[in-house]
Amino acid sequence: MTRLLFVCLGNICRSPTAEAVMRAKLAAAGLRHVEVDSAGTQGYHVGEAPDERSQRHAARRGYALGALRARQLVAEDFERFDRVLVMDAANLAEAARRCPPQRRDRLALLLDFAPQQPLREVPDPYAGGPAGFEQVLDLVELACDGLLAQLKGASAAS
Ligand code: 4NP
């Protein structure tokens, strides 16, 4: 079993989007040995469903976010998850600060898996307009394709 954790600030916009997109891509590819979850570095929205704007934009592309609930990143996540994929540099720094040194190699920026486009961070859409939510979906879909290709390669090799 491979376990992936997507991390953003509040766990109501970017990381639940990534969780739902990756889960859909794994199901479509028939990869059943990969578990997916998401968390926020901060606890402002713990227990809440994803932001309604994220839900609405994702639903238009066929991703259902409504059943997800926000939670905060905990120390145990660095033991449980093989990869902790973070949306931006500030949250990567925060996650790294809380991560035991021997687990830091599990941490990466999500967009490391989408090197064909110029951004390194998934911009926070929370305070902006609809285009930001579309951009999150575009970037997350590209990166999840990259991640999926790597996971397929790894399962073919083993
Ligand atoms: P997320 O977006 O990190 O993608 O879930 C945000 C959610 C909430 C806040 C900021 C960003 N906030 O300030 O409450």
Q: Pick the residue whose CA is nearest to atom 12 on ligand 1.
A: 10
pTM strictly above 0.85: yes
- The answer to whether 124 is a known catalytic residue is yes
> Do the Cβ atoms of 85 and 75 come closer than 8 Å?
no
Across the strands, what pairs with 38? 6
Q: Tell me: the pLDDT tens digits for 75-122?
A: 999 999 999 999 999 999 999 999 999 999 999 999 999 999 999 999
Which strand (E) or helix (H) includes residue 4?
Answer: strand 2-8
Q: For residue 43, which amino acid is it?
A: G
According to DSSP, residue 62 is labeled T
Q: What is the token pair recorded at 149?
A: 């290709």
Q: CB of 85 closer than 6 A to ligand 1?
A: no
Q: How far apart are CA 28 and CA 45, in angstroms?
A: 30
Q: Quick check: 81 and 4 in contact, CB under 8 A? A: yes
Q: pLDDT (tens digit, 9 = 90+) per residue, 16-50? A: 999 999 999 999 999 999 999 999 999 999 999 99
99 is a catalytic site residue? no
